[in-house]
Amino acid sequence: MITFFNDSHQAHCPAFEFFRGERVACFETPARAAHVKGRLLERGHILRTPAVDSSPALARVHAAPYLAFLQHAWLDWLDLAAGNDQRQPFPSVWPVRSLRSDVEPVNFIARLGLYSMDNGSPLSAGTWQAAKAGADTAASAGALVAAGHARSAFGCSRPPGHHAGADFMGGYCFLNNAAVAAQSLRDAGAARVAILDVDYHHGNGTQSIFYRRADVLCVSLHGDPLTEYPFYLGHADEGGEGEGEGFNLNLPLPAGCSSALWFEALEQACRRISLYRSDALVVALGLDTFAGDPISTFSLLADDFSRLGRRLGAMGLPTVFVLEGGYAAASLGINAVTVIEGFEEA
């Protein structure tokens, strides 16, 4: 499978994050993409450098003030105080219920909170460069498939994207690559696009971007938000609003669910996508459903990822894969390539 890969992902390399009250090394690291790249090359897959500028799609799925903030955030942080090049910024205040979010503060930390859903997306000097390169990989994969040059393509990038909403970052995500891929396909002429998110965590950002649209169907199977991040979105009763009513399907699953139960949900997801009569499919390929993942509780194994790929391939749709989560870094490359090779087998 043709894969778009950009080494600029390495520019995003924060030193630490906070996990369960502790300062720890980041789970989302450059090693994740390096393992995937290594496995792709080992298996003979073609790697290309992204050549499509994602800016038009980004302008359609993200708010302009948020994009401007993100592009300049690190320089604004450096301007705030001497020595900030040796520190990482984290938000410490958020505009929760009864507070205003329609006025952008001047204070940098307040703006960081305005555009963040949590403190789980540490910034570094190269965050914008890496995130924009990731969006370009998604747009390039979408353009290749939309032009009919390949039935499928893989946008392999980090940081991931599905928690990023129109005007906020969160959960390691800054720009929503799945949304960029879907919007690129729409702009290239696909009347209907389906997004299938198989990450352990609900793609709250993707859902919120398309929640009032009927031209992009969002389907997600994920850990139940009653107990699993992102907690505040991803419930089964969230079906879309306005023109988008009926075009969002959430399939929350209990922590520790078996592979059998997971594949039952996948089958339900595939049936819904087939009924939608989609012109193209975007797969938000989160691999933190793996039994060995350090921050998730599902139990999929290597053979299950091959089965996933074969089931997606059997749908017969032009398909764009974008890499999302998966934090057992050494296994990530094997699992990602197993999915796409299963897809190609079908």
Please tell me the predicted confidence (pLDDT) of residue 202: 98
- Asked if the model's pLDDT at residue 19 lies above 90, the reply is no
Q: Quickly tell me which residue has 């703006």 as its tokens.
A: 111
Give the pLDDT mean for 2-22.
93
Give the pLDDT mean for 214-243.
98
Give the pLDDT mean for 113-130.
96
Write out the two tokens for 252.
Answer: 């929350």
Options 35, 45, 162, 163, the catalytic residue: 163
Confidence of residue 83 (pLDDT cuts 50, 70, 90): very high
Q: pTM here? A: 0.97
CATH number listed for the domain at residues 3-56+131-345 = 3.40.800.20
Give the pLDDT mean for 196-213.
98
In whole numbers, what is the pLDDT of the chain averaged over residues? Answer: 97
Contact 275, 307 (CB under 8 A): no
Chain center to CA of 54:
15
d(CA 267, CA 274): 11
Confidence of residue 20 (pLDDT cuts 50, 70, 90): confident
Q: Is 222 a catalytic residue?
A: no
Question: What secondary structure does DSSP assign to 179-201, as a single string?
Answer: HHHHHHHHHTT-S-EEEEE-SSS
Give the pLDDT mean for 83-100.
96
Q: What digits encode the pLDDT tens for the residues 240-274? A: 999 999 999 999 999 999 999 999 999 999 999 99
% of residues, the chain, pLDDT over 70: 100
CB within 8 Å of 346: residues ≥ 6 apart: 309, 310, 311, 312, 313, 314
Cis peptide before 230 (omega within 30 of 0): yes
- In the chain, what is the straight-line distance between the N-terminal and C-terminal CA atoms, in Å? 13
Q: Quickly tell me which residue has 């039935």 as its tokens.
A: 151
Domain ranges of the chain: 3-56+131-345
Give the pLDDT mean for 311-327.
97
